[in-house]
Amino acid sequence: MNELLIHGRQLAGPALVVLDLLGTFVFALSGAAAGVKNKLDLFGLTVLAFATGNAGGITRDLLIGAVPPAAIEDWPYLAVCLAAGLAMFWWYPRIDVNRKPILLLDAAGLALFAVTGTQKALAAGLNPAMAAVMGMLSGIGGGIVRDILVNETPTVLRADLYAVAALSAGLAVVGGHALHVPPFAGMIVGAFLCLFLRLMAIFRGWHLPTARAAAGDV
Amino acid sequence: MNELLIHGRQLAGPALVVLDLLGTFVFALSGAAAGVKNKLDLFGLTVLAFATGNAGGITRDLLIGAVPPAAIEDWPYLAVCLAAGLAMFWWYPRIDVNRKPILLLDAAGLALFAVTGTQKALAAGLNPAMAAVMGMLSGIGGGIVRDILVNETPTVLRADLYAVAALSAGLAVVGGHALHVPPFAGMIVGAFLCLFLRLMAIFRGWHLPTARAAAGDV
Amino acid sequence: MNELLIHGRQLAGPALVVLDLLGTFVFALSGAAAGVKNKLDLFGLTVLAFATGNAGGITRDLLIGAVPPAAIEDWPYLAVCLAAGLAMFWWYPRIDVNRKPILLLDAAGLALFAVTGTQKALAAGLNPAMAAVMGMLSGIGGGIVRDILVNETPTVLRADLYAVAALSAGLAVVGGHALHVPPFAGMIVGAFLCLFLRLMAIFRGWHLPTARAAAGDV
């Protein structure tokens, strides 16, 4: 495997790194908020922020063999999680992670992680189907770990069009790759597709069927 | 470490791959069923199916350094999990994962994963004791992740002779290896031993003592 | 990465290995106790003991690229966990993991894992901040996995000065490294710092503020 390709720093330009850190910050905020709700102290809250912000990317990096993962190797990922933990600790009553602005930021983070994760998996030589799955995992992994740590069934497995929006973004990147479109174009299309699906889920209530309903139809 | 030995494709002949995919399918079914019971949508259910079918093998591959894991590198693992998710979604009322035929298939999957996992760990150069543990982990890892994701104490830690049956299979493979028996012979003996123990647990109620009972005895 | 540096056996002298195994044994005891409380059988209890004793170190090794992890490669780690599982199984009514002697042993295990984990991460080339985080993770990872497996919110995220004591130890090691102090000196200082903080938390009730209290202050 090509070391030059699979490490985030070589792969991602400065713009991508900034966006990646912004996504990490937003996810870390949601982790810290879950920590406050569960009455963790300042430190437990920061640990939860770091886990939520980086678990998806770390898992992806372990699976594609990019070790040590970028979030472990590069200190800015830790720094933004500390910032998110402290911000949530001081301003918690004024920050509500279930309100629309936070949901929109979260959707942006999801879109970003899904497309950069897919791109990184493709660069590591994965087949397209699994590269898109790795992109989805990058996006949803942090939320899954957050919910497991505070002892809840992961909402991302349940939330309307959450994982499916992340997968759509990954498939767009993979499709662009197959059509030899420049990577950045595929990533932009994928990110907007993911954002669109999440916005429709948030504002219009779009959702997938559940098996119980289907059983009633039959 | 020898790349040629530790990747599943080189190690396993076509018959083993088919059996491995069958085991993945059965475990994925049990994951999808847990998803339906927890009212996940079609997609969350498929994610849970994939995690249940492959978590054991992926964890083993990460631990022995076979990266990317076979379940990530080869698309058929994803395909059978999609099939299991869809099958459970459409036919859920008619599929009961706690009924005898499913339990038998599950026992077969456990036996298979335990012996192939042990063989793979031996080929990667692990010492025999840990190779058998890796085989057990391959067998029980998926069920553990499934139960954690739906927020339950893993039943495989609790179920009668479940983990111990998987470990027995691993020890048989390791024993055969030490005696220079051909690998396939050790795997067949191990698989039958695991199957036998699970069948005795299911039909005759065989089980290990728990500490509370032991404390009463003393 | 330098294979000679990142494997535990080369890095650690015999004294360190003995201390590492002692720490593993203590954590394995706490895992086995959680298993007994949750009515797992003898085997599930041993699996939980192994996971609790080794999850922190295994995760660290995966993240820094030391594969296979020492706990997988070297059989004594498995052996002490079996011993802990059997000991807890037979003597459970007489062993109370929440009593002072066990809490002190646990604090010693935490201190040890934190400093050896940090040292190992430094040797693998991680930057100092993340090396200290890896040390903390080595110390708290086992307890997190134990609590997730028995379906509880991890107490280490909640317990007074637990993760923060482990991180302090890591920072002391990293500080000694920056000042070119001999590694063993930094590790001794770090271990005593961690022990001191835990003892203050246990006997004097030292703790960090929680956000709810802070919100009341504002």
Q: How far apart are CA B90 and CA C76, in angstroms?
A: 49
Euclidean distance between CA atoms B206 and C11, whole angstroms = 45
A143 near A155, Cβ under 8 Å?
yes
User: What average pLDDT score do residues C93-121 get?
Assistant: 80
- Do B65 and C62 count as a contact with CB atoms less than 8 A apart? no
Which of helix, strand or coil describes residue C99? coil
8 Å CB contact between C195 and C166? no
C159-209, pLDDT tens digit by residue?
A: 778 889 999 999 999 999 999 988 889 999 999 999 999 999 888 888 887
User: If we measure between CA atoms, which residue out of B61, B53, B77 comes closest to residue B145?
Assistant: B53
Q: What is the mean pLDDT of residues C140-155?
A: 86
CB contacts, 8 Å: B144 with chain C: 149
- Report whether C210 contacts A42 (CB < 8 A): yes
Half-sphere exposure of A67 (CA within 13 A, CB side): 22
Nearest partner of B58 among C62, A114, A157, judged by Cα: C62
Q: How far apart are CA B2 and CA A62, in angstroms?
A: 19
Give the tokens for residue A110: 């999801």
CB–CB contact C163 A88 (8 Å): no
CB-defined contacts A:C, below 8 A: 84
Alpha helices in B65-127 (DSSP H): 70-73, 75-91, 100-123
Please provide the average confidence, as pLDDT, over all residues in chain C.
82
Q: What is the pLDDT of residues A108-154, one digit of tens each?
A: 889 989 998 999 899 888 999 999 999 999 999 998 888 888 888 78
Least Cα distance to B103 among B201, B188, B2, B192 occurs for B201
C215/C211 Cα distance (integer angstroms): 6
Q: Give percent of chain C with pLDDT exceeding 70.
A: 85
Provide, as residue numbers in chain B, all residues whose Cβ is less than 8 Å from the Cβ of A155.
none
C205: region left, alpha or beta (phi > 0 left; psi from -120 to 50 alpha): left
- Asked if A86 contacts A64 with a C-beta cutoff of 8 angstroms, the reply is no
pLDDT at residue C59 tops 60: yes
Residue bearing the bigger pLDDT, A33 or B166:
B166
Mean pLDDT of A30-54: 87
Q: Which residues of B touch A (CB under 8 A)?
A: 35-36, 38-45, 47-48, 50, 58, 62, 67-69, 72-75, 78, 88-90, 92-93, 148-151
Q: Cβ B93–A215 below 8 Å, yes or no?
A: yes
Q: Are the beta carbons of B74 and B20 closer than 8 angstroms?
A: no
Contact (Cβ atoms closer than 8 angstroms) between residue B119 and residue C9: no
Q: Would the pTM of this model clear 0.90, i.e. be above it? A: no
Q: What pLDDT, on a 0 to 100 scale, did the predictor assign at position A105?
A: 75
Q: Please report, in tens digits, the pLDDT of each residue of chain B (218 residues total).
A: 333 333 444 445 676 777 788 889 988 988 888 888 888 888 888 889 999 999 999 999 999 988 889 888 888 999 999 999 998 888 876 666 566 767 777 888 899 899 989 998 998 889 999 999 999 999 999 988 888 888 888 888 777 788 899 999 999 999 999 999 888 899 999 999 999 999 998 888 888 877 654 444 33
Q: How many CA atoms lie within 13 A of A208 on its CB side?
A: 22
Q: How far is C118 from chain A (nearest CA, A)?
A: 13
B130–C41 CB contact, under 8 Å: no
C122 contacts in chain A (CB < 8 Å): none
Please name every residue paired with B41 in a beta bridge, in sequence order, or none if there are none. Answer: A210
- pLDDT band (50, 70, 90) for residue A212: low
Compute the distance between CA of residue B43 and CA of residue B86 in angstroms, rounded to an integer: 9
Residue B149 to residue A144, Cβ atoms within 8 A? yes
Q: Which residues have a Cβ under 8 Å from the Cβ of A147 and sit 6 or more positions away? A: A34, A153, A154, A155, A156
Number of helices and strands in chain C (H, E): 11, 0
A-interface mutation test, from C153, C155, C162, C197, most A Cβ less than 10 A away: C153
Q: What number is the average pLDDT over the span C124-138?
A: 92
Minimal Cα–Cα distance from A87 to chain C, Å? Answer: 11
Q: Which chains touch B (3 or more CB pairs under 8 A)?
A: A, C
The alpha carbon of A158 is separated from its chain's Cα centroid by a whole number of angstroms, namely 16
Contact at CB, C41 and B148, closer than 8 angstroms: no
Kindly list the residues from chain A whose CB atom is less than 8 angstroms away from the CB atom of residue B67. Answer: 62-65, 67
Q: Is the dihedral of CA B89, B90, B94, B95 positive or negative?
A: negative
Whose tokens are 């929109």? That residue is A104
Give the tens place of pLDDT for each residue, C13-31.
676 777 788 889 988 988 8
Nearest neighbour of A67 by CB, restricted to C65, C144, C160: C65
Report domain extents, chain A: 3-207
In this predicted structure, the answer to whether residue A107 has a pLDDT above a threshold of 80 is yes
**Cβ neighbours of residue B78 under 8 Å, at least 6 residues apart?**
A129, A130, A133, B50, B71
